[in-house]
Amino acid sequence: MITASPEDGIYTNLVQNYEVDVDEQYKIGAMKQIIFDNDDNSFYILANSLEDKLGIYLLKIGQNDPCKTEFLIKWKNKLNVNDVNVFINRNAKHQFKELIVTFKSIYINIYSVIVLDISRIRNMNMLYRHESFQLWEEKIMSIMLFNNMDLITVNKQGISVLAMGADLDKRAIKNNHG
């Protein structure tokens, strides 16, 4: 398991009885989101700092071996990020697995949605990137609807819907007035 705050993270292996200080070991800070994937027994950590440099850093850590790590994203952009969400979208029928990362960036007032292919079949590639205007001062939140693979973002201006997933049929989205 990993127990974390934004500035400190401890990986604990209860079976083998040892701990690793994640932020010291990998030199990351400002941890924004941690998610666990049961399929490949890995933790995904999105951090805003690596070696005291601001950016977007996505680290994959193996559940049983914290030394088995890989940076999926290392973008040094000198910007703080907030309102971060990380989702794992999978579909066994179509054999795809995607990591969806959402965040807003300070100063440039952009809300980004990044979709990475993390399936066993393909190499890790960025499949999709979406950016929209979002003031830093205003709150924004994302929700992943896994039944129909829609990413819903909610902010002061309203609701936005992004269709996620590979090989989806096009469909109309209707409000309560049709």
pLDDT in tens, the chain (178 residues): 888 887 888 888 888 888 888 888 889 989 999 999 988 888 999 999 999 999 999 999 888 877 788 888 899 999 999 999 999 888 766 677 888 999 999 999 999 999 888 876 556 678 889 999 999 999 999 999 887 788 999 999 898 888 876 555 666 777 778 7
Residues 6+ apart with CB under 8 A from 27: 50, 51
CA distance 93 to 83: 32
Per-domain residue ranges of the chain: 1-78
Rounded Cα distance between 68 and 137, Å, is 38
Query: Is 0.95 surpassed by the pTM of this model?
Result: no
| Residue 82 · residue 131 · CB < 8 Å | no
Task: Report whether 9 contacts 2 (CB < 8 A).
Answer: yes
Compute the residue count for the chain. Answer: 178
